[in-house]
């Protein structure tokens, strides 16, 4: 891992980094970041590591809760080149949507491929982050993010025991995701957009049901998957803090 840029404002330090050819960003408290919980945040489909909502949540988690937050670009997203095959999938998606044809089969293929590539990238990123002296191997690690971030986060959390709490939601469900959920035993919080026009409500309820986690909590709110209310950001922070085993500095 090497850092390529650093800025800071208020009490948050933002550092861009590369792990191999994967670009990422790390937000840390300006002081007192030693041993802080590490939160891995995924971005949504078509977005990137510095998408507006992700940056807002990351900064809040750092400044209000003292977490360290990392995000990376998914394959073919943000600063990363999109492969010819990815371009074909995206074109097929746009075509199907415009034609009013079912997009499910394309989504499953494309998302499966993205997850397959992204999981080892996240694992290499965790390795690199844990090699930083201010993080180390003792800091508890959480994962969070909806839509594409959940597509990637489910197999990642099922496979990597370093992640001990996760927030998921708003995802188009297919069998591999349900199978990953069945292998997850760490505490999870699941955000279900109650009026998602693209994703069947029951499929979200079934996915929540599939988690093997003894502690899991479902939060449903009116609206689509881009309309999750801000107070869920606070709820998620408290969820992480509860399971990271330290009292969070709570903001109103």
Residue ranges in contact with a second copy by CB under 8 A? 192, 194, 205, 208-209, 214-222, 229, 231, 234-235, 238, 241-242, 247-248, 250-252
Contact indicator for 83, 110 with CB cutoff of 8 Å:
no
Long-range contact set of residues 84-90: C-beta below 8 Å, sequence gap at least 24: 85/113, 86/110, 86/113, 89/113
- Residue closer to a second copy by CB (options 118, 237) is 237
- Residue closer to a second copy by CB (options 144, 193) is 193
- Residue closer to a second copy by CB (options 131, 251) is 251
Q: Which residue has the tokens 């003292």?
A: 66
Separation of alpha carbons 171 and 104, rounded Å: 12
- Residue closer to a second copy by CB (options 77, 216) is 216
Compute the least distance from the CB of residue 250 to a second copy, in Å: 4
Write the Ramachandran bin of 211: left for phi over 0, alpha for psi from -120 to 50, otherwise beta.
beta
Long-range contact set of residues 92-101: C-beta below 8 Å, sequence gap at least 24: none
Compute the least distance from the CB of residue 247 to a second copy, in Å: 4
Compute the least distance from the CB of residue 9 to a second copy, in Å: 24
Compute the least distance from the CB of residue 157 to a second copy, in Å: 18
């Amino acid at each position: 891992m090497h850092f390529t840029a650093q800025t800071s404002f208020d009490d948050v330090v933002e550092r861009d980094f590369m792990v191999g050819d994967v670009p990422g960003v790390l937000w840390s408290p300006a002081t007192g970041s030693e041993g802080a919980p590490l939160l891995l945040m995924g971005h949504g489909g078509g977005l990137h590591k510095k998408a507006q909502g992700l940056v807002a949540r990351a900064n809040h988690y750092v400044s209000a809760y003292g977490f360290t937050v990392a995000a990376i670009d998914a394959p073919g997203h943000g600063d990363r080149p999109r492969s010819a095959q990815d371009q074909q999938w995206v074109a097929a998606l746009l075509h199907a949507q415009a034609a009013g044809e079912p997009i499910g089969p394309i989504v499953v293929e494309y998302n499966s491929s993205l997850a397959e590539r992204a999981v080892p990238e996240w694992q290499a990123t965790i390795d690199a982050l844990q090699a930083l002296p201010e993080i180390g191997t003792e800091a508890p690690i959480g994962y969070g993010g909806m839509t594409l971030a959940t597509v990637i986060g489910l197999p990642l959390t099922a496979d990597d025991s370093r992640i001990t709490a996760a927030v998921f939601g708003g995802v188009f469900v297919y069998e591999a995701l349900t199978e990953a959920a069945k292998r997850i035993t760490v505490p999870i919080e699941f955000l279900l957009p109650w009026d998602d026009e693209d994703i069947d409500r029951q499929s979200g309820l079934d996915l929540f049901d599939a988690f093997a986690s003894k502690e899991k909590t479902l939060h449903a709110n009116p609206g689509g998957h881009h309309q999750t209310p801000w107070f869920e950001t606070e709820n998620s922070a408290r969820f992480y803090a509860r399971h990271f085993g330290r009292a969070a500095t709570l903001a109103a």
